Structure 1
Protein backbone atom coordinates (compact mmCIF):
# COMPACT_ATOMS: atom_id res chain seq x y z
CA UNK A 1 0.00 0.00 0.00
CA UNK A 2 2.77 2.43 0.89
CA UNK A 3 4.34 1.87 -2.54
CA UNK A 4 1.63 3.92 -4.26
CA UNK A 5 1.76 6.91 -1.89
CA UNK A 6 4.65 8.84 -3.55
CA UNK A 7 3.16 8.51 -7.05
CA UNK A 8 -0.29 9.43 -5.73
CA UNK A 9 1.16 12.55 -4.12
CA UNK A 10 2.79 13.54 -7.42
CA UNK A 11 -0.53 13.04 -9.22
CA UNK A 12 -2.24 15.22 -6.61
CA UNK A 13 0.38 17.93 -7.24
CA UNK A 14 -0.52 17.88 -10.93
CA UNK A 15 -4.22 18.23 -10.02
CA UNK A 16 -3.46 20.96 -7.47
CA UNK A 17 -1.53 22.86 -10.15
CA UNK A 18 -4.68 23.04 -12.27
CA UNK A 19 -6.73 24.05 -9.23
CA UNK A 20 -4.34 26.92 -8.55
CA UNK A 21 -5.50 28.63 -11.73
CA UNK A 22 -9.17 28.21 -10.76
CA UNK A 23 -8.57 29.38 -7.17
CA UNK A 24 -6.49 32.32 -8.38
CA UNK A 25 -9.08 35.01 -7.40
CA UNK A 26 -9.65 33.51 -3.92
CA UNK A 27 -6.58 34.28 -1.81
CA UNK A 28 -7.31 31.90 1.10
CA UNK A 29 -8.22 28.94 -1.11
CA UNK A 30 -5.26 29.67 -3.37
CA UNK A 31 -2.81 29.71 -0.44
CA UNK A 32 -4.30 26.47 0.95
CA UNK A 33 -3.95 24.65 -2.40
CA UNK A 34 -0.52 26.21 -2.85
CA UNK A 35 0.65 24.91 0.54
CA UNK A 36 -0.78 21.46 -0.23
CA UNK A 37 1.13 21.47 -3.53
CA UNK A 38 4.35 22.20 -1.69
CA UNK A 39 3.63 19.54 0.91
CA UNK A 40 3.04 16.88 -1.75
CA UNK A 41 6.32 17.88 -3.41
CA UNK A 42 8.27 17.40 -0.19
CA UNK A 43 6.49 14.23 0.89
CA UNK A 44 6.57 12.25 -2.36
CA UNK A 45 10.36 12.16 -2.55
CA UNK A 46 10.83 11.84 1.20
CA UNK A 47 8.53 8.81 1.45
CA UNK A 48 10.02 7.18 -1.64
CA UNK A 49 13.57 7.52 -0.29
CA UNK A 50 12.70 6.66 3.32
CA UNK A 51 10.97 3.41 2.39
CA UNK A 52 13.31 2.65 -0.54
CA UNK A 53 10.43 2.61 -3.04
CA UNK A 54 11.89 5.01 -5.61
CA UNK A 55 10.94 4.14 -9.18
CA UNK A 56 11.58 5.55 -12.63
CA UNK A 57 7.85 6.18 -12.96
CA UNK A 58 7.89 8.06 -9.66
CA UNK A 59 10.80 10.24 -10.79
CA UNK A 60 8.98 11.00 -14.07
CA UNK A 61 5.70 11.78 -12.27
CA UNK A 62 7.60 14.07 -9.90
CA UNK A 63 9.20 15.87 -12.84
CA UNK A 64 5.86 16.20 -14.65
CA UNK A 65 4.28 17.53 -11.45
CA UNK A 66 7.13 20.02 -11.09
CA UNK A 67 6.69 21.19 -14.69
CA UNK A 68 2.92 21.57 -14.21
CA UNK A 69 3.33 23.42 -10.91
CA UNK A 70 6.05 25.80 -12.08
CA UNK A 71 4.32 26.47 -15.41
CA UNK A 72 1.15 27.47 -13.56
CA UNK A 73 3.23 29.46 -11.10
CA UNK A 74 4.97 31.31 -13.93
CA UNK A 75 1.58 32.18 -15.46
CA UNK A 76 0.30 33.40 -12.09
CA UNK A 77 3.47 35.42 -11.50
CA UNK A 78 3.05 37.13 -14.87
CA UNK A 79 -0.54 38.00 -14.07
CA UNK A 80 -0.05 39.12 -10.47
CA UNK A 81 3.48 40.49 -10.54
CA UNK A 82 3.75 41.61 -14.14
CA UNK A 83 5.29 44.98 -13.30
CA UNK A 84 8.01 43.45 -11.14
CA UNK A 85 8.74 40.60 -13.56
CA UNK A 86 9.00 42.90 -16.57
CA UNK A 87 12.05 44.42 -14.91
CA UNK A 88 13.69 40.97 -14.89
CA UNK A 89 12.34 39.65 -18.18
CA UNK A 90 15.80 39.08 -19.69
CA UNK A 91 16.97 37.11 -16.68
CA UNK A 92 13.79 35.04 -16.80
CA UNK A 93 14.15 34.49 -20.55
CA UNK A 94 17.78 33.39 -20.03
CA UNK A 95 16.68 30.93 -17.32
CA UNK A 96 13.89 29.48 -19.46
CA UNK A 97 16.22 29.22 -22.48
CA UNK A 98 18.81 27.32 -20.45
CA UNK A 99 16.12 25.01 -19.01
CA UNK A 100 14.67 24.27 -22.47
CA UNK A 101 18.18 23.66 -23.85
CA UNK A 102 18.81 21.24 -20.99
CA UNK A 103 15.61 19.36 -21.79
CA UNK A 104 16.65 19.12 -25.44
CA UNK A 105 20.08 17.81 -24.45
CA UNK A 106 18.42 15.20 -22.23
CA UNK A 107 16.16 14.06 -25.06
CA UNK A 108 19.02 13.86 -27.58
CA UNK A 109 21.69 12.42 -25.28
CA UNK A 110 19.63 10.18 -22.97
CA UNK A 111 16.50 9.65 -25.11
CA UNK A 112 14.43 10.95 -22.21
CA UNK A 113 13.26 14.12 -20.51
CA UNK A 114 15.64 14.47 -17.59
CA UNK A 115 15.55 16.74 -14.55
CA UNK A 116 18.43 16.39 -12.13
CA UNK A 117 17.60 16.98 -8.49
CA UNK A 118 20.68 19.01 -7.59
CA UNK A 119 20.95 20.93 -4.34
CA UNK A 120 20.92 24.18 -6.36
CA UNK A 121 17.70 23.12 -8.12
CA UNK A 122 16.10 22.31 -4.76
CA UNK A 123 17.16 25.65 -3.29
CA UNK A 124 15.82 27.45 -6.38
CA UNK A 125 12.55 25.54 -6.15
CA UNK A 126 12.17 26.48 -2.49
CA UNK A 127 12.92 30.13 -3.22
CA UNK A 128 10.41 30.24 -6.07
CA UNK A 129 7.86 28.43 -3.92
CA UNK A 130 8.23 30.96 -1.08
CA UNK A 131 7.65 34.09 -3.19
CA UNK A 132 3.82 33.97 -3.28
CA UNK A 133 3.63 32.95 0.37
CA UNK A 134 5.87 35.83 1.35
CA UNK A 135 4.11 38.39 -0.81
CA UNK A 136 0.52 37.36 0.00
CA UNK A 137 0.70 36.30 3.60
CA UNK A 138 3.10 38.95 4.79
CA UNK A 139 1.89 41.74 2.49
CA UNK A 140 5.46 42.70 1.63
CA UNK A 141 6.40 45.96 0.04
CA UNK A 142 7.52 46.35 -3.57
CA UNK A 143 11.21 46.92 -2.74
CA UNK A 144 11.49 43.68 -0.75
CA UNK A 145 9.49 41.82 -3.43
CA UNK A 146 11.88 43.15 -6.09
CA UNK A 147 14.93 42.02 -4.13
CA UNK A 148 13.39 38.60 -3.48
CA UNK A 149 12.56 38.09 -7.16
CA UNK A 150 15.99 39.32 -8.29
CA UNK A 151 17.88 36.98 -5.92
CA UNK A 152 15.59 34.08 -6.86
CA UNK A 153 16.08 34.73 -10.58
CA UNK A 154 19.87 34.85 -10.27
CA UNK A 155 19.81 31.64 -8.19
CA UNK A 156 17.62 30.06 -10.86
CA UNK A 157 20.11 30.93 -13.61
CA UNK A 158 22.97 29.44 -11.58
CA UNK A 159 21.06 26.20 -10.92
CA UNK A 160 19.96 26.00 -14.57
CA UNK A 161 23.55 26.43 -15.74
CA UNK A 162 24.75 23.74 -13.33
CA UNK A 163 22.17 21.26 -14.60
CA UNK A 164 23.02 22.20 -18.21
CA UNK A 165 26.72 21.54 -17.58
CA UNK A 166 26.00 18.23 -15.83
CA UNK A 167 23.98 17.12 -18.85
CA UNK A 168 26.82 18.09 -21.19
CA UNK A 169 29.72 16.67 -19.18
CA UNK A 170 28.48 13.36 -17.78
CA UNK A 171 27.86 10.33 -19.99
CA UNK A 172 25.41 8.65 -17.61
CA UNK A 173 22.45 10.50 -16.17
CA UNK A 174 22.12 10.48 -12.39
CA UNK A 175 18.79 12.03 -11.38
CA UNK A 176 19.77 12.55 -7.74
CA UNK A 177 23.20 14.05 -8.39
CA UNK A 178 23.75 16.67 -5.68
CA UNK A 179 25.82 18.98 -7.88
CA UNK A 180 28.39 19.25 -10.61
CA UNK A 181 31.30 18.85 -8.19
CA UNK A 182 29.72 16.02 -6.18
CA UNK A 183 30.32 12.33 -6.81
Structure 2
Protein backbone atom coordinates (compact mmCIF):
# COMPACT_ATOMS: atom_id res chain seq x y z
CA UNK A 1 0.00 0.00 0.00
CA UNK A 2 1.29 3.46 -0.97
CA UNK A 3 2.07 5.74 1.95
CA UNK A 4 0.16 9.02 1.75
CA UNK A 5 3.35 11.00 2.30
CA UNK A 6 4.81 9.48 -0.89
CA UNK A 7 1.99 10.76 -3.12
CA UNK A 8 3.60 14.17 -3.93
CA UNK A 9 6.86 12.47 -4.93
CA UNK A 10 4.94 9.96 -7.06
CA UNK A 11 3.12 12.81 -8.83
CA UNK A 12 6.43 14.55 -9.55
CA UNK A 13 7.86 11.27 -10.83
CA UNK A 14 4.77 10.77 -13.00
CA UNK A 15 5.50 14.08 -14.74
CA UNK A 16 9.08 12.98 -15.42
CA UNK A 17 7.77 9.69 -16.85
CA UNK A 18 5.12 11.26 -19.10
CA UNK A 19 7.39 13.93 -20.60
CA UNK A 20 9.52 11.74 -22.93
CA UNK A 21 6.39 9.80 -23.96
CA UNK A 22 5.05 13.03 -25.48
CA UNK A 23 8.12 13.32 -27.70
CA UNK A 24 7.87 9.62 -28.55
CA UNK A 25 4.28 10.16 -29.71
CA UNK A 26 5.37 13.10 -31.89
CA UNK A 27 8.35 11.42 -33.58
CA UNK A 28 6.38 10.34 -36.64
CA UNK A 29 5.20 13.89 -37.35
CA UNK A 30 1.76 13.52 -35.83
CA UNK A 31 0.24 12.88 -32.42
CA UNK A 32 -2.55 10.70 -31.09
CA UNK A 33 -5.22 11.60 -28.54
CA UNK A 34 -2.87 10.14 -25.93
CA UNK A 35 -0.57 13.14 -26.35
CA UNK A 36 -3.24 15.52 -25.03
CA UNK A 37 -4.40 13.02 -22.40
CA UNK A 38 -0.84 12.51 -21.16
CA UNK A 39 -0.15 16.23 -21.14
CA UNK A 40 -3.32 17.02 -19.18
CA UNK A 41 -2.47 14.29 -16.64
CA UNK A 42 1.00 15.82 -16.27
CA UNK A 43 -0.47 19.28 -15.67
CA UNK A 44 -2.94 17.90 -13.12
CA UNK A 45 -0.04 16.20 -11.31
CA UNK A 46 1.74 19.57 -11.25
CA UNK A 47 -1.29 21.23 -9.67
CA UNK A 48 -1.88 18.65 -6.98
CA UNK A 49 1.65 17.64 -5.94
CA UNK A 50 2.19 20.95 -4.15
CA UNK A 51 -1.30 21.06 -2.66
CA UNK A 52 -1.03 17.53 -1.28
CA UNK A 53 2.52 18.09 -0.05
CA UNK A 54 1.44 21.14 1.94
CA UNK A 55 -1.60 19.34 3.36
CA UNK A 56 0.56 16.40 4.44
CA UNK A 57 3.32 18.74 5.68
CA UNK A 58 5.96 17.09 3.45
CA UNK A 59 6.66 20.12 1.24
CA UNK A 60 10.46 20.03 1.53
CA UNK A 61 12.95 22.11 -0.44
CA UNK A 62 14.17 18.94 -2.16
CA UNK A 63 10.64 18.04 -3.28
CA UNK A 64 9.92 21.56 -4.56
CA UNK A 65 13.19 21.60 -6.50
CA UNK A 66 12.30 18.23 -8.03
CA UNK A 67 8.91 19.72 -8.93
CA UNK A 68 10.65 22.58 -10.76
CA UNK A 69 12.88 20.14 -12.66
CA UNK A 70 9.83 18.08 -13.62
CA UNK A 71 8.21 21.25 -15.00
CA UNK A 72 11.33 22.04 -17.04
CA UNK A 73 11.42 18.48 -18.37
CA UNK A 74 7.72 18.54 -19.30
CA UNK A 75 7.77 21.84 -21.15
CA UNK A 76 11.06 21.06 -22.88
CA UNK A 77 9.46 17.88 -24.24
CA UNK A 78 6.36 19.83 -25.28
CA UNK A 79 8.60 22.35 -27.08
CA UNK A 80 10.41 19.53 -28.91
CA UNK A 81 7.05 18.05 -29.88
CA UNK A 82 5.88 21.42 -31.22
CA UNK A 83 9.01 21.61 -33.37
CA UNK A 84 8.44 18.08 -34.68
CA UNK A 85 4.76 18.60 -35.53
CA UNK A 86 4.47 22.34 -36.17
CA UNK A 87 7.84 23.65 -37.42
CA UNK A 88 6.14 26.43 -39.38
CA UNK A 89 4.42 27.66 -36.22
CA UNK A 90 7.80 27.85 -34.50
CA UNK A 91 9.12 29.90 -37.43
CA UNK A 92 6.06 32.16 -37.41
CA UNK A 93 6.55 32.85 -33.68
CA UNK A 94 10.35 32.79 -33.73
CA UNK A 95 10.91 36.32 -32.38
CA UNK A 96 8.47 36.17 -29.41
CA UNK A 97 9.58 32.60 -28.67
CA UNK A 98 13.21 33.72 -28.71
CA UNK A 99 12.41 36.53 -26.27
CA UNK A 100 10.56 34.12 -23.96
CA UNK A 101 13.45 31.63 -24.01
CA UNK A 102 15.96 34.44 -23.46
CA UNK A 103 13.95 35.69 -20.46
CA UNK A 104 13.89 32.22 -18.90
CA UNK A 105 17.61 31.68 -19.52
CA UNK A 106 18.34 35.08 -17.97
CA UNK A 107 16.35 34.08 -14.89
CA UNK A 108 18.26 30.79 -14.57
CA UNK A 109 21.61 32.53 -15.10
CA UNK A 110 20.92 35.25 -12.51
CA UNK A 111 19.81 32.64 -9.96
CA UNK A 112 22.82 30.41 -10.63
CA UNK A 113 25.26 33.31 -10.35
CA UNK A 114 23.73 34.67 -7.15
CA UNK A 115 22.63 31.50 -5.34
CA UNK A 116 24.24 28.64 -7.32
CA UNK A 117 20.74 27.13 -7.57
CA UNK A 118 17.94 27.20 -10.09
CA UNK A 119 14.88 29.28 -9.11
CA UNK A 120 11.97 27.46 -7.49
CA UNK A 121 9.54 30.24 -6.53
CA UNK A 122 6.23 28.73 -7.75
CA UNK A 123 4.74 32.22 -7.99
CA UNK A 124 1.18 33.17 -8.84
CA UNK A 125 2.35 34.36 -12.26
CA UNK A 126 4.01 30.97 -12.82
CA UNK A 127 0.72 29.25 -12.00
CA UNK A 128 -1.18 31.52 -14.41
CA UNK A 129 1.50 30.91 -17.04
CA UNK A 130 0.99 27.17 -16.56
CA UNK A 131 -2.74 27.58 -17.22
CA UNK A 132 -2.08 29.57 -20.40
CA UNK A 133 0.41 26.92 -21.53
CA UNK A 134 -2.25 24.27 -20.98
CA UNK A 135 -4.74 26.24 -23.07
CA UNK A 136 -2.19 26.97 -25.81
CA UNK A 137 -0.93 23.37 -25.99
CA UNK A 138 -4.40 21.81 -26.15
CA UNK A 139 -5.49 24.43 -28.70
CA UNK A 140 -2.44 23.73 -30.88
CA UNK A 141 -2.32 19.93 -30.72
CA UNK A 142 -6.06 19.43 -30.50
CA UNK A 143 -7.39 22.08 -32.88
CA UNK A 144 -4.37 23.44 -34.84
CA UNK A 145 -5.11 26.84 -33.28
CA UNK A 146 -2.08 29.08 -32.68
CA UNK A 147 -3.45 32.41 -31.43
CA UNK A 148 -3.38 31.35 -27.75
CA UNK A 149 0.42 31.03 -28.01
CA UNK A 150 0.60 34.81 -27.71
CA UNK A 151 -0.98 34.67 -24.25
CA UNK A 152 1.38 31.91 -23.09
CA UNK A 153 4.42 33.83 -24.35
CA UNK A 154 3.23 37.05 -22.67
CA UNK A 155 2.77 35.28 -19.33
CA UNK A 156 6.20 33.69 -19.70
CA UNK A 157 7.76 37.13 -20.07
CA UNK A 158 5.80 38.56 -17.12
CA UNK A 159 6.73 35.61 -14.90
CA UNK A 160 10.40 35.71 -15.93
CA UNK A 161 10.73 39.44 -15.27
CA UNK A 162 9.03 39.12 -11.89
CA UNK A 163 11.25 36.24 -10.79
CA UNK A 164 14.43 37.96 -12.04
CA UNK A 165 13.58 40.98 -9.87
CA UNK A 166 12.75 38.70 -6.94
CA UNK A 167 16.10 36.93 -7.33
CA UNK A 168 17.94 40.24 -7.34
CA UNK A 169 16.02 41.46 -4.27
CA UNK A 170 16.42 38.42 -2.04
CA UNK A 171 19.54 38.02 0.13
CA UNK A 172 19.13 34.23 0.22
CA UNK A 173 17.63 31.56 -2.07
CA UNK A 174 13.98 30.87 -1.36
CA UNK A 175 11.37 28.44 -2.66
CA UNK A 176 7.57 28.75 -2.68
CA UNK A 177 7.61 32.54 -2.61
CA UNK A 178 4.36 33.54 -4.26
CA UNK A 179 5.01 37.04 -5.62
CA UNK A 180 7.35 40.00 -5.81
CA UNK A 181 5.41 41.57 -2.92
CA UNK A 182 6.26 38.56 -0.74
CA UNK A 183 9.91 38.97 -1.77
CA UNK A 184 9.90 42.67 -0.85
CA UNK A 185 8.34 41.91 2.56
CA UNK A 186 10.89 39.17 3.20
CA UNK A 187 13.76 41.46 2.21
CA UNK A 188 12.50 44.19 4.54
CA UNK A 189 12.18 41.66 7.37
CA UNK A 190 15.77 40.49 6.81
CA UNK A 191 17.05 44.09 6.73
CA UNK A 192 15.20 44.85 9.98
CA UNK A 193 16.76 41.79 11.63
CA UNK A 194 20.25 42.82 10.53
CA UNK A 195 19.73 46.37 11.84
CA UNK A 196 18.43 45.12 15.20
CA UNK A 197 21.43 42.82 15.59
CA UNK A 198 23.89 45.59 14.81
CA UNK A 199 22.42 47.97 17.39
Does TM-score exceed 0.5, indicating one fold? Answer: yes
Whether 1:107 and 2:109 are equivalent positions in the alignment is: no
DSSP-derived class of the 2:180 partner = coil
Whether 1:54 and 2:54 are equivalent positions in the alignment is: no
Write the distance in 2 (CA, Å) between the matches of 1:95 and 1:20. Answer: 22
**1:128 alignment partner in structure 2:** 133
**1:66 alignment partner in structure 2:** 71
**1:45 alignment partner in structure 2:** 50
Write the distance in 1 (CA, Å) between the matches of 2:62 and 2:174. Answer: 15
Number of residue-to-residue matches in the alignment: 178
Alignment gaps of 5+ in structure 2: 186-199
8 Å CA contact 1:91–1:157 kept in 2: the answer is: no
Q: CA deviation at 1:6?
A: 0.6
Write the distance in 2 (CA, Å) between the matches of 1:43 and 1:111. Answer: 28
8 Å CA contact 1:116–1:163 kept in 2: the answer is: yes
**2:19 alignment partner in structure 1:** 17
Write the distance in 2 (CA, Å) between the matches of 1:159 and 1:58. Answer: 21
Q: Comparing 166-175 with 82-91, which one deviates more in the overlay?
A: 82-91
If the length of structure 1 is used for normalisation, what is the TM-score? Answer: 0.88
8 Å CA contact 1:6–1:47 kept in 2: the answer is: yes
Write the distance in 1 (CA, Å) between the matches of 2:144 and 2:97. Answer: 22
Write the distance in 2 (CA, Å) between the matches of 1:10 and 1:78. Answer: 25
Write the distance in 2 (CA, Å) between the matches of 1:151 and 1:130. Answer: 9
| Structure (1 or 2) with the larger CA radius of gyration | 2
If the length of structure 2 is used for normalisation, what is the TM-score? Answer: 0.82
Alignment gaps of 5+ in structure 1: none
